[in-house]
Structure 1
Amino acid sequence: MAALVNGLSRLPRKANLLWYLVLGGLFLDAYSNAALGAGLSPMIKELGLSSTQVGVLTATAPAVAILFNPIGGWLAARIGRVKPLIAAKAIAAIGAVLTATAGGFGEVWFGRGLVGVAYGIDFAVAMAMLAEYTPAKLRGRLNLWQSVWYVATTVNLGLTLVFFQLDAGVGIWRWSVGSAGVFAIVLLVLQLLFLVESPSWLAAKGRLAEAAVSLRRIYGFQVTPGTGSGPDPATEQKIGFRHAGVLFRKPYLPRTFLSTAISLTQSMQYFAVGWYLPVISLAIFGQAFQTATLGSMIFNIAGIIGGALSAYFGRKIGLRTSSAIGYAFAFAILLVMGLGFGKLPIAVGFLLPFLFIFFHSAGPGANGKSIAALSYRSDIRTLGTGVTGMLGSFGSVIGLYVFPQIKESMGLGPTIALLAVVPFLGLVSCLIVRWDPTRSGVDPDDETIDLKRRSA
């Protein structure tokens, strides 16, 4: 099954369309995250929020995602990839509507919680499904999710500017958040109509006839299911949380450590710096909403370029090496940006965040989730992406909740300088662990594992 897909040098048209339809869910996740950040200042004014409430609201979605990353992975391992993806879009739409119509802190918090549920489920499942749709020669393209993330953020900022020009007033954040609900509904309909179940998952479940149908619908393969080549559905062991221990023993322990370390550190540095680009723009360009938003859009262009190039760098030098290089540059940039904040010429003050976003997105920003999606067998892949995504989401919570508190007491410059320790730790992790799924020559689906052992 995997050999058929891996033998392709390019994706057929239908498979390519399905690939981008799954990727569209990650666009929604990014857009939903950016929606609150783009209108954060007007929301604070309208609802009269304290710094603690702001920290809670911004950290709610990734905090909930910590729980629902593994739940999404577990669901996808048990019932397939398509159903959890569609459910995530429905939950995201409800969360967006509740947030946009909220009258106070409590309603916004609950709506953002639902967004976190959708985000946690979708990311764990979508990355695994993209890996299963993608031939071995093209696996670097998984990193395109990072470019899509910044495209989504830029689109949200652009629409926020449109709402501003239409004189949306202090309620502009409601339009920003509500537009995420529109995207969620559109994606819900498209995925419901066109998504095809992963042939790899079906084959791992012993459902060979259905896997053959999926192969034909996705790639045009005319195959006849054999006999005795897959597990017996009647005796096949169900994958559950009790099997998570397999991720922490050979051969998966170093893979889990590396993907988790990259996911954790990259999310800390992004959500502490990248998510707060509107705040940084205000500090650099002044208090005008339009100017700060345009500045944020320009910063995100660096992410679009870097994210697009990350697929190229991953193919040429490997995911681990490109992560290490990105961390090294991010470390140096954060130190200079933090120590020189408020003292540097405005051109340099603008260039440094631009370069930070570029090296972040071209290196570690994409690679933690891509490494996880490419490092595990099909039957435990979503469990692996879910558990490592859960651990990595702690970085988002730390970045989103702790950053405002430190910034409140230390100021923006010293806080940014302090954050330089994060990419340094990421760099050390890449130097310690040598695993790289694009350089190993190992197909995880050919590996044998013992699911019965409970501990490392």
Structure 2
Amino acid sequence: MQSTIKIRGIDDVIAFIDSCPGIKGRAGLIWWLALGGLFLDAFSNSALSAGLGPMTRNLQLAASQVALLTSFASWVAIAFNPIGGWMADRWGRIRPLIIAKFLAVIGALLVVFAPGFEVILVGRFFVGAAYGIDFAIAMAVLAEFTPVRLKSRLNTWQGMWYTAVCSNLLLALLFHSWNVGDAIWRYSVAATAIFGIGILVLQLAFLVESPIWLARKERLADAAKAMTRIYGRPFVAAPVEERLPVLNQAKRGLANVLLIFRGVYLPRTVLAATVQIGQSIQYFAVGWYLPLISAALFGKDFVYATVGALVFNVFGILGGFMSPLIGRKLGLRRASAFGFAAVFVMLLILGLFNGKMPIWVAVIVPSLFILFHSGGPGANGKSLSSLSFRSELRAGANGIIGALGATGAALGLLIFPLFREKYGLETTFLILSVVPLAASIICFAIKWDPTRTTIHPDNEADAPQFGGDEAPAPAFLNPAIEKSQR
């Protein structure tokens, strides 16, 4: 019979999770179900991508309507990212995740049965709300169930994203074979509703509240019960007199979130936000429109354009599932910096030589764009924000930084069709190349990397807090702090 483990505070919870050899059992199931929610987010966001051309013809949409339709969910996510973070910090991780799945299913059903453009916008509102809430929280859940030595595994979500995109493209080819015509986009969105219901049922059945969040809230009895359910071993809260105090426990909502812009947290916020915004603009301005770009390269036949986009996105799966290894070898910061630099080169090539390249080069360059994006900055913005802050700041930080990323996504989705119509495809690529160039420079300049420090964010004694001394200077302004974080 296993001996009962006494939980004196959050340090004991973290120590046990970090001592685990892997993420197995109920913890592994929770981890993959959180990833499954992110798969649904990607599936929902890319459902219209494969059928965008047929939808444009089917509904006779103008370029401005296409720009609004494709970017609307991201604009909504800007508001709901911080709302999701607030919900998670106040109510816990599980209830908001379930709410997000309900919203995703409602949004998908509205789009499937929409009679016209306006109702589709309403449906995309619900999709954007679900996306904003879910991503802020799911990444926090992944971080709180991952042992410290496996931090870079959070980047697995990027591989799941491209798996979802490729699944949509394969389904689009299947639906095309049914001769459904330009209504094919409704079938893709219907598949989203079906998958959403499935992941909702599984999350309702198996998710357990994060023990780190519970312990951070000084709910040790609940944390012990949660750990017993998750790890299959007996845990019990220590008597009150034996409990350890929680460092830097914050008491106020908005002011608590604003701590991410102070002290040692400021450079982490700048880094994570830079990666998040940069990767969002470059992906949603280029990667999301790959079916249209593929059609421009290989002709407007639906099958050829879809197969071309599928080939490109397979490289996303490869890069996404390689990103944990790349992050472990280079660190999340340097992996982002080098990835942005490589994406900059690919956009330059597309801008300068598109239409002049042999067909095999025309296939390789967009494929490498996706590979470098997914293997580097594509995954790292959300991972950086999830690993750089203590528990009661984590979801809120993900929400704020996620909102900035959603702004980048919305801008990318909005400007690509407008710029393409006004300036042409090649000039649009050249304009967009400025984004990864600037992001790469910033990533090289800031030295913080959560995979290159032994200090757990929940145990930082020098983190900003309420009352007491003023917070330390930002790491990039304080050589002593910067050196200790390398």
User: Cα distance, 1:230 vs. partner?
Assistant: 5.8
Q: Relative to 1, partners in 2 of residues 1:156 and 1:239: Cα closer, same or farther, differing over 3 Å?
A: farther
1:409-454 residue CA offsets vs partner (Å, 9 max, x unmatched)? 1111110122111110110111111000000222101014454369
Deviation at 1:191, TM superposition (A): 0.3
Which of residues 278, 296, 303 in structure 1 aligns to 2:316?
303
Distance 2:61 2:465 in 1: 49
- Alignment-derived partner of residue 459 in structure 2: 446
- For structure 2, the 5+ residue unaligned runs are 1-12, 472-486
What does the per-residue CA deviation read over 1:212-262, in whole Å, with 9 as the maximum and x for residues that have no partner? 111122123432211253669xxx755522322201011100000000000
Contact 1:264–1:396 (8 Å) recurs in 2: yes
1:442 is aligned with what amino acid? I
- Which of 203, 215, 228 is the matching residue for 1:216? 228
Instruction: Please say if residues 97 and 138 of structure 2, whose CA atoms lie closer than 8 Å, have aligned partners that are also in contact.
Output: yes
Residue in 2 that maps onto 1:188: 200
Q: CA RMSD in A?
A: 1.5
Partner residue of 1:66?
A: 78
Q: Is the 8 A contact 1:11 1:219 kept in 2?
A: no
Structure-2 residue corresponding to 1:113: 125
- Aligned twin of 2:261: 248
Counterpart code for 1:273: V
What are the equivalent positions in structure 2 for 1:335-346 lying under 5 Å apart?
A: 335-346=348-359
- 1:271 has 2:311 as partner: no
Question: Aligned partner of 2:97: which letter?
Answer: L
Aligned residue for 1:173, secondary structure, equals helix
| Inter-CA distance 295–139: structure 2 relative to 1 (3 Å threshold) | same
Letter in 1 for 2:386: A
Aligned to 1:410: 423
Q: 2:169 aligns with which of 157, 171, 176?
A: 157
4+ residue runs over 4 A deviation: 236-239, 453-456
Mean Cα displacement is larger for which, 23-32 or 412-421?
Answer: 412-421
Name the SS for the 1:441 alignment partner.
Answer: coil
Of 147, 152, 155 in structure 2, the residue corresponding to residue 143 of structure 1 is 155
Contact 2:153 2:324 in 1 (8 A): yes
Question: In the aligned structure 2, how far is the partner of 1:8 from the partner of 1:246?
Answer: 31
Paired residue total? 453
In 1, Cα distance between the equivalents of 2:244 and 2:203?
Answer: 28
Structure 2 contact 18–147 (Cα < 8 Å) conserved: yes
Unaligned runs of 5+ in 1: none
Question: Which residue of the other structure, out of 294, 306, 318, is the alignment partner of 2:307?
Answer: 294
Aligned-partner Cα distance in 2 for 1:91–1:389: 18
Amino acid of the structure 1 residue aligned with 2:176: F
Question: Residue 23 of structure 1 corresponds to which residue in structure 2?
Answer: 35
Q: Which residue of structure 2 lines up, in the alignment, with residue 123 of structure 1?
A: 135
Q: Are 1:399 and 2:412 counterparts?
A: yes
Displacement after TM superposition at 1:325 (Å): 1.1
In structure 2, give the amino acid aligned to 1:245. L
After superposition, give the CA deviation of every residue in 1:160-190 in whole Å (9 maximum; x if it has no partner): 1111101111110001111111111111110
- Alpha-carbon contact 1:18-1:194 (below 8 Å) kept: yes
1:364-408 deviation digits (Å, cap 9, x = unpaired): 000010010000001111011111111121110110001111111
Corresponding residue SS for 1:11: coil
Deviates more, 1:403-412 or 1:6-15: 6-15
Counterpart residue identity of residue 277, structure 2: L
AA in 2 matched with 1:249: R
Contact 1:206–1:230 under 8 Å retained in 2:
no
Contact 1:26/1:148 (8 A) holds in 2: yes
1:354 corresponds to which residue? 367
Corresponding residue number in structure 1 for 2:475? none
Q: For 2:435, which of 414, 419, 422 is the aligned residue? A: 422
Equivalent residue number for residue 103 of structure 1: 115
Q: Is the 2:291–2:309 Cα contact (8 Å) retained in structure 1? A: yes
CA distance in 2, matches of 1:59, 1:124: 19
CA deviation after TM superposition for structure 1 residue 149, in Å: 0.1
Of residues 52, 56, 64, the one that matches 1:40 is 52
Match of 1:314 in 2: 327
Partner AA of 1:48 in structure 2? Q
Distance 2:114 2:467 in 1: 48
CA contact (8 A) 2:250 2:256 kept: no
TM-score (norm 1): 0.97
1:19 Cα deviation (Å)?
0.6
Give the equivalent residue in structure 2 for 1:371. 384
After superposition, what is the alpha-carbon deviation per residue over 1:94-121, rounded to whole angstroms, capped at 9, x for unaligned?
Answer: 0000011111110011100110000000
Q: Spell out, residue by residue over 1:130-163, the C-alpha distance to the aligned partner (whole angstroms, 9 max, x if none).
A: 0001100111110000000000000011111111
Seen in structure 2, the aligned counterparts of structure 1 residues 39 and 250 have a Cα distance that, compared at 3 Å, is same
SS state of the match for residue 235, structure 2?
coil
- What is aligned with 1:173? 185
Write out per-residue CA displacement over residues 257-289 of structure 1, whole angstroms, 9 at most, x where no aligned residue. Answer: 000000000000000110000011001110100
User: Separation in 2 of the partners of 1:176 and 1:358?
Assistant: 25
The letter of the residue matching 2:332 is L
Q: Which moved further from structure 2: 443-452 or 341-350?
A: 443-452
> What SS does the aligned partner of 1:224 have?
strand
The residue type equivalent to 2:385 in the other structure is A
Q: Which amino acid aligns with 1:297?
A: L
Instruction: For 1:452, give the aligned amino acid.
Output: F
Contact 1:84 1:121 in 2 (8 A): yes
Contact 2:263 2:464 in 1 (8 A): no
Q: Deviations over 1:322-372 (max 9, x none)?
A: 111111111111101111011111110110000000000000000010010
Task: Give TM-score, length-normalised by structure 2.
Answer: 0.91
1:12 corresponds to: 24
- Cα distance change on mapping 1:425 and 1:182 into 2, 3 Å: same
Whole-angstrom CA distance in 1 between matches of 2:150 and 2:229: 20
Describe the shift of the 1:212–1:258 C-alpha distance in structure 2 as closer, same or farther (beyond 3 A). same
Which residue in the other structure is 2:214 paired with?
A: 202
Q: 1:198–1:214: 8 Å Cα contact kept in structure 2?
A: yes
